[in-house]
Amino acid sequence: MLNPRILLVIGGGIAAYKSCELVRLIRKQGGEVTCVLTDGGSHFVTPMTLAALSENQVHTTLWDLKNETEMGHIQLSRQADLVVVCPATADLIAKMAGGMADDLATTLLLATDKPVLAVPAMNVRMWQHPATRRNVATLRADGITVMEPDEGPMACGEYGPGRLPEPEAIWRRVDAMLTAPKPLAGRHVLVTAGPTWEPIDPVRYIANRSSGKQGFAIAAAAAEAGAQVTLVAGPVHLPTPAGVTRVDVESAREMAAAVDAALPADIAVMVAAVADWRPQSAAGVKIKKAAAGVPTLSLAENPDILAGLAASPRRPALLVGFAAETNDVIAHAREKLARKRVDMIVANDVSGDVMGGDANAVHIVRADGVTSLPEMAKGDVARALVERFADALVR
């Protein structure tokens, strides 16, 4: 992109000094930088330094009377081509994940409609803490790009992941985001995600352990690639990714109807772990314990959404199924590929903590071979898959 406009949010960590070098690199490449300095960040770098390097006014407060009479935080959030949070501290990441807006930085991050890159930097224990991992997963599910921190010695004397990447590496990611092609522009991508709940009575149901995280990440990555995305989501508590149209369902039959209503689509990615069976009939009231013992459940087969799409006259140009297996992963995926008559199966081993976890390792199974991806964060898996979906669509 020629002369990109970058909004740089500088959090309060010792690594804030590296933001000065990042400003210099962006300016050297012809970019324009506007800095937003948090209160914490001002303890490490000064507005004067950033103003001199960026040749722009540095913004520090939401309570600037002149700017806010013109809704300055809205203008700042919309005028940039890319918003970069560097360093993204544990506190700032938590506020972003929670949708807080208690200062200028968090308010404009909540108000922006532009891509956001977060570059974490913090103590290794803070980076590895479950709360931070949850918050990072939330940001990625929301469509925010989160760089992995570097590993090495830290200012606190500890060693491990949590160091801010070098400014040159951050600039390369910025440049890649600004120049990234939109291979799915003009395409409609349909994604299913999460489990289904099949009611036994008003308080009980048959379900599975699917968290929906991988499907939501694929929907977010497809939107980043320029697609119009419809996400049919089972009952999960995940935020809707930016730029995605979400349809919430509970049962397999509701999901099948929602998928049919969303057609036509260029690509359908059936990530949801749809229950194979449901109770033949659901009780209208709670089933009570009785002297007669354990009740018997008669099961009925649920609609096969993937096979139905494969046989439909409105079959998407690219139809992708998922196979969650606990053994013989690739063999089962090959069998499913042939039986369902789809173009691609993405298979993974769920015998560990994949369901509900933040990482995944998948195998892409096609009639012409198998491609295995190493274990990565689910957001990175999603982006790798979407690249392959786009390639397959134009073959």
Query: Which are the catalytic amino acids?
Result: 156
Tokens for 292? 């007669």
Residue among 32, 22, 28, 153 at smallest CA distance from 88? 22
Q: What sign does the CA torsion over 370, 372, 378, 384 have?
A: negative
Residue among 207, 220, 249 at smallest CA distance from 232? 249
Which amino acid, 308?
G
- Find out whether 147 and 118 touch, Cβ atoms under 8 Å: yes
Please state, in angstroms and rounded to a whole number, the distance separating the CA atoms of residues 115 and 130. 26
How far the first Cα of the chain sits from its last, in Å, is 27
- Find out whether 363 and 330 touch, Cβ atoms under 8 Å: yes
Burial tier of 123 (Cβ tally within 10 Å: 0-12, 13-18, 19+): middle
Please state, in angstroms and rounded to a whole number, the distance separating the CA atoms of residues 65 and 382. 43
- Find out whether 235 and 250 touch, Cβ atoms under 8 Å: yes
Q: What is the DSSP string of 110-145?
A: HH--S-EEEEE---HHHHHSHHHHHHHHHHHHTT-E
CA 291 to the chain's CA centroid: 49
Residue among 231, 83, 125 at smallest CA distance from 73? 83
Using only the alpha carbons of the chain, give its radius of gyration. Answer: 24
